[in-house]
Amino acid sequence: TCRSHAYPILKTRGIIAMPPYELRDLLLDSNRVKEFNKNSLGKKNICILPSSNDDETTVIVEHDMRIPIVGTSIQTLALTHSRPIHCGDGGCGCDIGYIVVSRSVKRGLEEEEKDPFYSISILRPVPNQPEKTDLINVAQMGVSNHVPGFVLRKIGFMGASDFFANLRRLCRK
């Protein structure tokens, strides 16, 4: 975790019992966001940009989210891009992983709170276990003039923990 007051960043990593391509599809599916993000109030694709490569996806989405503890919600507009990465075979017979990058801006808030924030997810096959994904997520946590930093950090850690727990719960179904 980076504890800079201006740009707090949270890095998380875990193994998810789902192949990288399935996890990528899940993360990009606006209709399934509530399955792994319990704080989502809804996500809608605004525009899916055409690509010459079937493995690449670029989409603009609106997302309404509830902020736990604080009891408020925010709306974001995000540009999200996914593309394959070659990870090397690693003995698993599969060398394809994915990177998903998202740049969001808050909507409908005061001007000083419209700073962009970023999220990067790296999805790699686990060596010798291609049905599992090594997921690394780096996210810039939101900054607010109205919420103390220690509360934002707690919300960030809770969100990351819930994210991994919800993904793992989905894999057990």
Q: Which of 117, 115, 124 is nearest to 139 (CA)?
A: 117
Q: pTM of the prediction?
A: 0.80
Give residue-wise pLDDT tens across range 30-51.
999 988 888 889 999 999 998 8
Q: Is 47 or 139 the better-scoring residue by pLDDT?
A: 47
Give residue-wise pLDDT tens across range 84-137.
998 765 545 556 899 999 988 766 545 444 556 788 999 999 988 989 999 999
Q: Which of 50, 159, 62, 57 is nearest to 99 (CA)?
A: 57
